[in-house]
Amino acid sequence: MLNKAFAAAGAAAWGGLPFSELAADMTPEAIAKAEQLCPNPRAVLVAAFPYYAGERPGNLSLYARGRDYHQVVTARLNTICDILRKKYENEIFLPAADNSPLPERQAAWRCGIGLRGKNGLVILPPYGSYVFLGTILTDVELELPLRTPSPGCVGCGKCLTACPGGALGEAGVEVSRCLSDLTQKKGELTEGEAALLKAHPLIWGCDTCQRVCPYNAAPALSPLPEFREGLVDALEGADLEGLTNRTFREKYGDRAFAWRGPAPLRRNLKGRGK
């Protein structure tokens, strides 16, 4: 049943594991939040959804050009939850995408989805690392498929060397030095941060570690229309001129780059002299 449901929802891969096993990768605070959302959590389902739409010029990260993945992935997971709710009446099934206390990448790796990239990303051939992850948290003790934890990537180290902020190392990712995080930061930037951003080709996100990855040399295109059609590849000053927070969200609220409002985008454009 679940194989067909995830395939129909557009997932390229899926798996599941007991919540107690995933809790080993969670902080006490995250566990408490999960238990508030779903008292007595028993299982977690996790799935990967491809988003690569091909090479196109622009100044937004590839992940942010299509529809907001939070909305798209959650809606697609909800089709699975609807099936499960019919079978398990009065039980809890909570879909989420990058907005829950569950560590999605660790869940995927524990289920054997893809490879463990040195840049901290899930690499799922033939889509490379261009995949979004989503989870379903439930209080039902589901019968789950057998799984083998994900192996590491080839370990070429290209992502570590190419990272413009020096955020990647053998020990993991230092988020404070990640250009993707920096472009989304609120307020004024330090002189060093501004210099990094000025030399960066994007005003939102960073694709550098993905672009140099050998698994992303020729990734397969996403079959999902939300990530292939109606793309916003770039933003310039004229696109944001005169927009209030409200009108900005009316215009771009269905995009992943909209959650911070227009201020960081205007700052980033100004820092690059645009």
List, by residue number, the catalytic residues. 98
Q: Are 193 and 173 in contact (CB under 8 A)?
A: no
And the tokens for 101? 């206390």
The number of angstroms, rounded, from the C-alpha of 58 to the middle of its chain's C-alpha atoms is 19
Query: Counting every residue, how long is the chain?
Result: 274
Strands (E), the chain: 13-18, 43-50, 93-96, 115-116, 122-123, 131-138, 168-169, 172-173
Q: Which residues contact 87 (CB under 8 A, 6 or more apart)?
A: 1
What is the identity of the amino acid at 238? A
The dihedral over CA atoms of 147, 222, 180, 273, expressed in degrees to the nearest 10, equals: 170
Instruction: Give me the residues paired with residue 14 across strands.
Output: 47
Q: Supply the DSSP symbol for 88.
A: S
| 3-state DSSP assignment of residue 91 | coil
The per-residue DSSP string of 159-175 comes to HHHH-TT--EETTEE-G
Q: Which residues contact 226 (CB under 8 A, 6 or more apart)?
A: 66, 67, 72
C-alpha 63/C-alpha 233 separation (Å) is: 10
